């Protein structure tokens, strides 16, 4: 546990913070006796999975906890600046402004939801500046536009008078940052500021935050679950789990010489690039062929002219049998539409899909009608959202038995039960739990149920659409392990759709990259990750937040050429976390030395 000797230089001091929640089920300990210091100008990374209490800690600094939260009396929260010593927990009413917005600003995860939808962006920023800096409207407006310019918003004067939904995702987060900086805070709390963004945008925003931090010299409390992001930005790291601090120290120490087994587990859950599977000597025979496939949806609202939005444009592809195929792309690239089209769940406007080696012919497309039952026996889907994909009104047994009962694949209830139990065991679902309803399960368990349902009718092919995106890293690792295990046992072919390149790298044999409805590049994992050919793929790969040392801090994103320079060197055997960079290599040698 890191205890700073020079106490008086601390900007923020958290001592023995304990927060309980008064819920219907009784008192829940959310944060348990944690201590944390932030010095002026320091970037503190706060890492943990969902429910670890990291966001609650941040909110307690701003006094934003919900009404049923109880901060235990021994807790202390102090802000020190110049000769001010503020006891945050004693602040009431108007005095809270000293903390809220004045000395501390906060950036939230979802920029869309954190701006009021019916008030112009500029107005909200002007309001903030008027409260804290006492500027006149004109002055505040001038300053605000200057700030917009500074955070890299194009055409700032126009954007200043727009509403939040008129901006793109990256611009929104930039506007949010501008707003947070408008009062020149001493401490910036960033609560998962890049999680909701696409990789390339994430990289840009991170770069911006680094730059601003250097220029303005404020301290930062950076909350995230992503160790890769932390390694880029944090000086010191605190790891939290179930409301307690399990490890704290400077970034190098925590990330590369983790002392606590939980930190080690988190790091282990990061994808490995070392044992990227060797590509089979020859490409295995195709399980299904996609022939010149296009998917278009009618544009909603405009009924007179049937305008169509084409999500997938003329893709032809063979999916090799028995492989896990990764489908990568940023949001809006059409990857989900493609996945659904393979299952006959998206409107195919051109082309066709043909499955090979099925008992009865499965071939459908724009002009060929789909035989649903034949397809359902061959191909199934695992959904993204573990909450909405399970009918909340059915028991787990009924959910898993759905395909068997719907297609009448079994002759008796006993047989159905037997197959459900078999599959549940295979997916590591407790047989006792089959009587329960979905609401009793966590996200990871729900995803197992979803997998069991997909596999119970013994399909050859499953589409997993962002199936681990909603899960915590360590749970992700479990689900990925399960998928691999099932692939080996059942000889499945899996199309794994994801925006997260590190997951793809960890899981897949074969990767396809999509952009704007078109296929950019396809190849083995090694080809795509180590020798990307297309500029878009290169940009994508370069944007992955890398696990790298904090010293010396890199000013800019590594150019993609840097990566290739590394890749020219012989691959190093042994576990390498994150992506192959100089840093990971150094880390690796360090670990060997230990």
Residues numbered 10 to 49 that lie near other proteins (CB under 8 A) are: 24-26
Determine which residue in the list 32, 127, 350, 417 makes contact with other proteins, applying CB under 8 A: 127
The correct pick among 377, 397, 460, 487 for binding other proteins (CB under 8 A) is 377
> Considering only 245-253, 315-323, 399-407, 529-537, which stretch makes contact with other proteins by CB under 8 A?
399-407
**Two tokens at 570?**
């012989």
Token pair, residue 188, equals 């910036």
CA 366 → CA 290, 307, 309, 353, 369, distances in Å?
Answer: 12, 18, 16, 9, 8
Q: How far is CA 556 from each of CA 373, 395, 416, rounded to the nearest angstrom?
A: 53, 52, 58
Closest approach, Cβ 100 to other proteins, in A, equals 4
Do the Cβ atoms of 468 and 498 come closer than 8 Å? Answer: yes
For residue 111, the surrounding DSSP H or E stretch is helix 111-114
Residue 113 contacts other proteins per CB under 8 A: yes
* Among the listed residues 437, 490, 554, 567, the single contact to other proteins using CB under 8 A: 437
**Closer CB to other proteins, residue 436 or residue 531?**
436
Based on the shown chain and the rule CB under 8 A, indicate whether residue 133 belongs to the binding site for other proteins: no
Name the residue nearer to other proteins (CB basis): 64 or 286.
Answer: 64
Smaller CB separation from other proteins, 421 or 566: 421
CB 342 within 8 Å of CB 354 = no
Q: Is 105 in the site for other proteins (CB under 8 A)?
A: yes
Four-CA torsion 517, 113, 97, 219, nearest 10 degrees = -30
Binding-site member from 119, 146, 565, 571 for other proteins (CB under 8 A) = 119
Contacting range for other proteins; rule: CB under 8 A; set: 192-200, 450-458, 500-508, 515-523: 450-458
Q: Does 451 bind other proteins (CB under 8 A)?
A: no
Contact 347, 296 (CB under 8 A): yes
| 542/544 Cα distance (integer angstroms) | 6
User: Binders of other proteins among 402-421, rule CB under 8 A?
Assistant: 402-403, 406-407
Stretch of residues binding other proteins (CB under 8 A), selected from 148-156, 359-367, 435-443, 546-554 = 435-443
233 versus 381: smaller Cβ distance to other proteins:
381
- Using the rule CB under 8 A, which residue among 114, 139, 560, 567 binds other proteins? 114
Q: Is 260 among the residues that bind other proteins (CB under 8 A)?
A: no
Nearest distance, CB of residue 6 and other proteins, angstroms: 28
Strand 69-71, strand 12-23: pairing: antiparallel
Q: Which residues pair with 349 in a beta bridge?
A: none
Considering the complex, what minimum distance in angstroms separates the CB of residue 10 from other proteins? 21
Of residues 263 and 450, the one with the C-beta less far from other proteins = 450
Do 55 and 248 touch, CB atoms closer than 8 A?
no
The reply on whether position 106 binds other proteins by CB under 8 A is yes
HEC profile of 52-67: CCHHHHHHHHHCCCCC
Using CB under 8 A as the binding rule, the residues of this chain from 183 to 202 that contact other proteins are: 183
Q: Match 């501008």 to its residue by tokens.
A: 178
Number of residues in contact with other proteins under rule CB under 8 A: 83
Cis omega (within 30 of 0) for bond into 509? no
**Sites for other proteins among residues 482-511 (CB under 8 A):** none
What is the footprint of other proteins within residues 293-332 (CB under 8 A)?
301
Q: Torsion-angle region of residue 553: left (phi > 0), alpha (psi -120 to 50) or beta?
A: beta
332 with 297: CB under 8 angstroms?
Answer: no
User: Residue 211 interacts with other proteins (CB under 8 A)?
Assistant: no
Q: For residue 357, what are the CA distances in angstroms to 61, 323, 361, 460, 487?
A: 61, 16, 8, 10, 18
Query: Judged by CB under 8 A, does residue 216 bind other proteins?
Result: no
Query: Of residues 392, 491, 535, 574, which one binds other proteins by CB under 8 A?
Result: 392
List the one residue out of 128, 137, 139 whose CA is nearest residue 183.
128
Distance CA 118, CA 130 (A): 20
Pick the binder of other proteins from 235, 466, 478, 521 (CB under 8 A): 478
Query: Binding segment for other proteins among 110-118, 237-245, 354-362, 498-506 (CB under 8 A)?
Result: 110-118
Q: Does 345 bind other proteins (CB under 8 A)?
A: yes
Choosing from 43, 79, 381, 519, the residue that interacts with other proteins (CB under 8 A) is 381
- Single residue of 140, 343, 486, 519 touching other proteins by CB under 8 A: 343
Residue 79 tokens read as 């802000």
| 97/539 with CB nearer other proteins | 97
Pick the closest to residue 529 from 519, 542, 516, 520 (CA basis).
542
- Our CB check for other proteins shows the closer of 228 and 403 to be 403
Nearer to other proteins by Cβ, of 6 and 388: the residue is 388
Burial 174-204 (b: 16+ CB within 10 A, else e): bbbbbbbbbbebbbbbbbbbbebbbbbbbbb
Contacts (CB under 8 A) with other proteins, residues 357-376? 372-373, 376
Place of tokens 């059915």: 394
389 vs 550, beta carbon nearer other proteins: 389
């Amino acid at each position: 546990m890191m205890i700073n000797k020079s106490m008086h230089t601390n900007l923020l001091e958290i001592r023995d913070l304990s927060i309980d929640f008064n819920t219907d089920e009784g008192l829940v300990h959310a944060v348990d006796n944690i201590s944390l210091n932030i010095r002026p100008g320091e970037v503190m990374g706060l890492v943990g999975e969902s429910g670890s209490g990291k966001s609650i800690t941040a909110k307690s600094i701003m006094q934003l906890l919900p009404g049923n939260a109880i901060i235990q009396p021994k807790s202390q929260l102090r802000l020190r600046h110049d000769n001010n010593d503020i006891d945050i927990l004693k602040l009431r009413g108007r005095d809270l402004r000293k903390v809220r917005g004045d000395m501390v600003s906060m950036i939230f995860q979802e920029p869309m939801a954190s701006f009021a939808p019916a008030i112009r962006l500029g107005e909200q920023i002007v309001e903030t500046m008027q409260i804290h800096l006492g500027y006149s409207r004109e002055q505040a407006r001038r300053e605000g536009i200057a700030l917009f310019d500074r955070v890299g918003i194009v055409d700032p004067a126009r954007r200043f008078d727009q509403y939040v939904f008129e901006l793109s995702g990256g611009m929104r987060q930039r506007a949010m940052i501008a707003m947070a900086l408008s009062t020149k805070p001493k401490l910036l709390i960033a609560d998962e500021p890049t999680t909701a963004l696409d990789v390339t945008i994430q990289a840009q925003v991170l770069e911006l935050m680094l730059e601003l931090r250097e220029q303005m010299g404020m301290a930062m409390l950076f909350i995230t679950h992503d160790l890769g992001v932390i390694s880029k930005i944090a000086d010191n790291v605190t790891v939290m789990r179930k409301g307690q601090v399990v490890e704290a120290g400077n970034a190098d120490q925590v990330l590369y010489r983790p002392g606590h087994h939980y930190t080690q587990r988190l790091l282990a859950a990061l994808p490995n690039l070392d044992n990227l599977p060797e590509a089979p000597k020859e490409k295995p025979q195709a399980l299904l062929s996609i022939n010149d496939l296009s998917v278009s949806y009618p544009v909603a609202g405009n009924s007179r002219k049937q305008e169509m939005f084409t999500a997938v444009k003329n893709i032809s592809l063979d999916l090799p049998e028995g492989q896990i195929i990764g489908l990568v792309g940023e949001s809006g690239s059409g990857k989900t539409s493609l996945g659904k089209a393979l299952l006959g769940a998206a409107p195919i406007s051109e082309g066709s899909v043909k499955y090979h080696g099925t008992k009865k012919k499965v071939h459908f497309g724009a002009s060929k009608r789909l035989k649903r039952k034949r397809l359902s026996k061959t191909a199934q889907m695992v959904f993204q959202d573990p909450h909405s994909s399970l009918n909340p009104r059915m028991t787990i047994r009924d959910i898993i038995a759905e395909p068997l009962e719907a297609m009448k694949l079994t002759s008796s209830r006993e047989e159905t039960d037997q197959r459900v139990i078999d599959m549940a065991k295979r997916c590591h679902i407790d047989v006792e739990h089959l009587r329960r309803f979905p609401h009793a399960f966590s996200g990871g368990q729900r995803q197992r149920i979803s997998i069991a349902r997909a596999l119970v009718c013994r399909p050859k092919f499953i589409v997993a659409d962002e199936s681990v995106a909603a899960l915590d890293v360590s749970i992700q690792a479990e689900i990925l392990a399960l998928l691999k295990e099932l692939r080996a046992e059942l000889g499945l072919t899996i199309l794994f759709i994801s925006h997260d390149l590190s997951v793809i790298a960890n899981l897949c044999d074969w990767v396809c990259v999509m952009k704007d409805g078109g296929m950019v590049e396809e190849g083995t994992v090694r080809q795509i990750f180590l020798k990307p050919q297309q500029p878009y793929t290169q940009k994508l790969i370069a944007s992955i937040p890398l696990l790298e040392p904090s010293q010396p801090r890199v000013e800019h994103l590594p150019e993609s050429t840097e990566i290739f320079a590394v890749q020219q060197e012989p691959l190093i055997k042994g576990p390498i976390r994150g992506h192959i960079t100089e840093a990971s290599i150094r880390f690796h040698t360090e670990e060997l030395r230990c």
